[in-house]
Structure 1
Amino acid sequence: MLTGFAMLALPGWHQAHAETIDTALARAYQNSPIINASRASLRATNEGVPQARSGYRPRINATADIGSQITWRPNPVTGAIDSRSRDPRGIGLEVTQNIFDSGRTGNAVRRAETQVLAARMRLEATVQQTLFNGAEIYMNVLRDTAILNLQRNNVEVLDEQLRQSQDRFEVGEVTRTDVAQAESRLASARSQVSLAEANLRANIGRYRQIIGSQPRELGAGRAPERLIPGNLDSALHFGLTENPSIIAARHALDGAQIAVKVAEAELLPRASVRGSIDRRFDTQQRGDRQTSASITAQLTVPLYQGGEVSARVRAAKETVNEFRFELEQAREEVRANVITAWGSLEAASAQIQAAEIQVDAAETALTGVREEARVGQRTTLDVLNAQQELLNARVNLITAQRDRVVAAFSLVQAMGRLTPHQLGLAVAEYDSREHYEQVRNRIWGTSTPSGD
């Protein structure tokens, strides 16, 4: 009796190289371009913090100019045209320092930091989705492999059944109808083998896309049992407090609320200090030199900007409402996902128990029908039907086993706990704070910390 998944074995591999679901998920975590793209997006978001903090720092500009000027005028004595030429040129340095901006820079920094927190949670959600996809495709390949083996075994059994029917027909024990029935079932079984092979090939391709390598020899899958709480209420509590999608939506709402303050600051006074020094040559006549320096304190009080800033403030307030609804949607979606996964897990567990009983009963029935057929109490069709019922029962068992493992991973993901650390994967986890600390206070340089 087949009660578990068969092992997928391809040429050139041995038991020592067997892949487990943990090693497959570790490969997915390390190789996924989706995760790497999300990490790059986070690093780009990190750069928003030094951009915002630049509002605290001075702006320094150097200038240089050079030109040529010729003046023509008549000589009052001779009447001839006299010309004079000079080359005015100069260099300068200007420094502008923000003194007060009604909290715009401070709020911009807070918003940027909140956006970083939201991006970290989006990365976490991407990681968990990728790990779930890896677990799902791993179990799909195992299921399709086991079903293919069953279908191939069924072809062998039906082929032997057809041979026996033909032998019995030749000695007059059965009719031509019995032979035709066996031939029909064999043809159908062969078509099912072709379908199973196509399904397996498709999922092998998907496996390579998600895991990053070709499946060679896969061990039995297992559910993350220790991460599953004892009741639905606990699962809902974990989901509503730990799911990264909810946390990311909460940070996005915080950032939107701060953005209103940033926009409102444009309606308030600003103060700055500007200092400059210039060195000029040939300003009035050839060979002269002039140096000047100045320092200016400037207060700017916005009075009217044509309604532009006011419109942006109103838009920012509506964006807050948008993110507030998105947070509520994220909560409801997580709640629904937890309840759905919990129900699927319970249903799959019940289906496994029922399928095991069904397989035992179908095996007993097939044995009895075959014995009765030998003494003429059953027809060939009865044997074929019993064989098909056993095949269906075994396929149902394999499918239920796969569904239970996938439902378990789905539940853990909905709770926000499908992380490499929680799963105990043997990988070096990406430190989302390392890059942030490298660029947070950086004041110059265009190369990234990685050297690009």
Structure 2
Amino acid sequence: MFWGRGGWAVAACIAAAAVTWSGPSFAASLRSALATAYENNPDLNAARAQMRAINEGVPQARANGRPSITLDGDFGYTTTRTPGNIFDPGSDWSTATNPRGATLSVEQPIFLGFRTKNAVRVAEMSVKAAREQLKVVEQNILLDTVRAFMGVIRAQVVVNLTAQNVEFLREQVKAAEDRLSVGEGTRTDVAQTNARLSEGMSDYAQAVADLNQAIAVYVQIVGIRPDRLGDVNGIDKHLPRTLEAGLEVALTTHPSIISSLYNIDVASWNVRVREGALLPSVTLSGSVSHRDASGDTAWRDTASVTGRLVMPLYQGGSIAAEVRELKETLGQRRIELDVTRAEVRQILISSWGTLDAARAQVRAAAAQVAAEQLVLSGVIEERRVGQRTTLDVLNAQQDLLDARVAQVRAQHDRVVAAYSLLAAVGRLNASVLGLPVEIYDPTDHYYQVKDKWLGLRTPDGR
């Protein structure tokens, strides 16, 4: 079982309690959990596969300007019977032929109203926009990993705190019963301690359920079950020093904003592609054929070269309507860029405030825990001399437990807030974090396929 007794400490949460573990000696740090999720998370791998599919749009666009070659062949059998003189049955005669032939045709676009060139630009801009979206997915997965990792830590610490609380309450029940047996206590004291013990056991059961849920989320995101969690490495060195510096970086380099800029380019080139349908097109085609019509020595070879010019004059206004539609889409993409910038600004400012608040809560929680520990020790001593009741001790213990749980949550919130701020800046990625992984480079696949003329296999051999 993941929760149990043994010893471990987490830098971000050790002040809350002495946390105990059992199981293998392997300890997964937050850094290693992030590395595992970077390599194994199915959502991230699916996004990479989608990126590779989008890369194939470039050779598809280039194909519109390349020649097309077809080979057409046919083979037939024809029989003909002609009656002769009716008075001479032997005068009937018949013929049989097997007409056959083959034609090789080549068609080469010469000019298509710049549509091929502009379609390639659309595909290239789509690839660049998709790369930035892949960075956004990577950020989201890594941030989810941080939340899952810290969620398991928080849940495990709460389990241990509630377990310690149950042990303390059991001691209080025994002490109350002992005092009752020697005439120094009352049945009310015993009832109160038993009631608190039942409540503590209920809290422990809920804490275990929360831990199991946190583990399930961790497995879903990281891909493996945590055996033992270790250090939480700080990322303060990667965070902006000031809010203004963070805004300057985010509004310049955040992948969501860069993706929106590329989407504007995509929309702009789409307008030009459709406008090209109003321009003339020129194609050159040639064919070579061999024909055997009679099945004997009669045959015929034919070769031809044809140039074709098509000048569109009027299409009922459909092309013009499509161009106007694409121009409106271009305007929409420009507005979406402003929306994205506003969202990035809002999230960054919110994340900055959340981190400041979390740091203050950590300091306040530490002071509260220290004070509640002194209170509990003092109340226990005062009860021994008759100045406090058992209920006072139980209340002091509950206050200390609540303070420790609040401290654990504050530590959890501080770590998550720090990584959330890094994501808001747009720099939560494997390279910045220095994860021990091979960094996925989407350009490798792009350069492998962008100029391919043929081949059904993907670069990895599928």
The CA deviation at 1:72 is: 5.6
Shift in CA distance, 78/290, structure 1 to aligned 2, threshold 3 Å? farther
Deviations 1:385-433 (A, max 9, x none): 1111111111111110110000000110111101111001111111211
TM-score where L is the length of structure 2 = 0.92
Match of 2:77 in 1: 68
Does the CA contact (< 8 Å) of 2:16 and 2:404 recur in 1? no
Tell me, what secondary structure is at the counterpart of 1:451?
coil
Shift in CA distance, 59/20, structure 1 to aligned 2, threshold 3 Å? same
Corresponding residue to 1:433 among 428, 443, 462: 443
The CA deviation at 1:121 is: 1.1
> Does 1:394 find its partner at 2:411?
no
Deviations 1:343-391 (A, max 9, x none): 1100110001111111111111111111111111111111111111111
Match of 2:195 in 1: 184
The CA deviation at 1:82 is: 5.0
Shift in CA distance, 5/365, structure 1 to aligned 2, threshold 3 Å? closer
Deviations 1:153-192 (A, max 9, x none): 0011111111111111222323222221111111111000
Structure-1 separation of matches of 2:415 and 2:14: 17
> Does 1:199 find its partner at 2:210?
yes
Corresponding residue to 1:228 among 214, 235, 239: 239
The CA deviation at 1:286 is: 4.8
Match of 1:290 in 2: 300
Match of 1:351 in 2: 361
Match of 1:10 in 2: 22
Match of 2:222 in 1: 211
> Does 1:107 find its partner at 2:118?
yes
Does the CA contact (< 8 Å) of 2:256 and 2:340 recur in 1? yes
Does the CA contact (< 8 Å) of 2:17 and 2:161 recur in 1? no
The CA deviation at 1:312 is: 2.9
Aligned residue identity for 1:107: N
Does the CA contact (< 8 Å) of 2:155 and 2:211 recur in 1? yes
Structure-2 separation of matches of 1:274 and 1:76: 52
Does the CA contact (< 8 Å) of 2:285 and 2:306 recur in 1? yes
Does the CA contact (< 8 Å) of 1:362 and 1:393 recur in 2? yes
The CA deviation at 1:2 is: 5.7
> Does 1:58 find its partner at 2:70?
no
Task: Using the TM superposition, name which of 270-279 and 314-323 deviates more.
Answer: 314-323
Structure-2 separation of matches of 1:179 and 1:6: 29
The CA deviation at 1:113 is: 0.5
Task: Using the TM superposition, name which of 190-199 and 68-77 deviates more.
Answer: 68-77
Corresponding residue to 1:364 among 365, 374, 380: 374
Match of 2:348 in 1: 338
Tell me, what secondary structure is at the counterpart of 2:428?
coil
Corresponding residue to 1:85 among 89, 92, 96: 96
Corresponding residue to 1:422 among 419, 432, 446: 432
Tell me, what secondary structure is at the counterpart of 2:150?
helix
Structure-1 separation of matches of 2:392 and 2:104: 99
Deviations 1:201-250 (A, max 9, x none): 01111111111111111113233111111111111222222221221122
TM alignment of 1:144-163, pairs within 5 A: 144-163=155-174
Match of 2:416 in 1: 406
The CA deviation at 1:85 is: 3.2
> Does 1:42 find its partner at 2:54?
no
Number of residue equivalences: 448
Does the CA contact (< 8 Å) of 2:20 and 2:160 recur in 1? no
> Does 1:254 find its partner at 2:265?
yes
Shift in CA distance, 157/7, structure 1 to aligned 2, threshold 3 Å? closer
Tell me, what secondary structure is at the counterpart of 1:217?
coil
Aligned residue identity for 2:52: R
TM alignment of 1:311-330, pairs within 5 A: 311-330=321-340
Corresponding residue to 1:278 among 259, 280, 289: 289
Structure-2 separation of matches of 1:258 and 1:349: 48
Aligned residue identity for 2:22: L
Tell me, what secondary structure is at the counterpart of 2:64?
helix
- Identical residues among aligned pairs (%): 45
The CA deviation at 1:274 is: 0.6
Aligned residue identity for 2:202: S
Aligned residue identity for 1:92: T
Structure-2 separation of matches of 1:67 and 1:140: 75
The CA deviation at 1:139 is: 0.7
TM alignment of 1:123-162, pairs within 5 A: 123-162=134-173
Structure-2 separation of matches of 1:217 and 1:168: 42
Shift in CA distance, 198/401, structure 1 to aligned 2, threshold 3 Å? same
Does the CA contact (< 8 Å) of 1:7 and 1:220 recur in 2? no
Does the CA contact (< 8 Å) of 1:46 and 1:439 recur in 2? yes
Shift in CA distance, 7/211, structure 1 to aligned 2, threshold 3 Å? farther
Shift in CA distance, 53/6, structure 1 to aligned 2, threshold 3 Å? farther
Structure-1 separation of matches of 2:17 and 2:445: 43
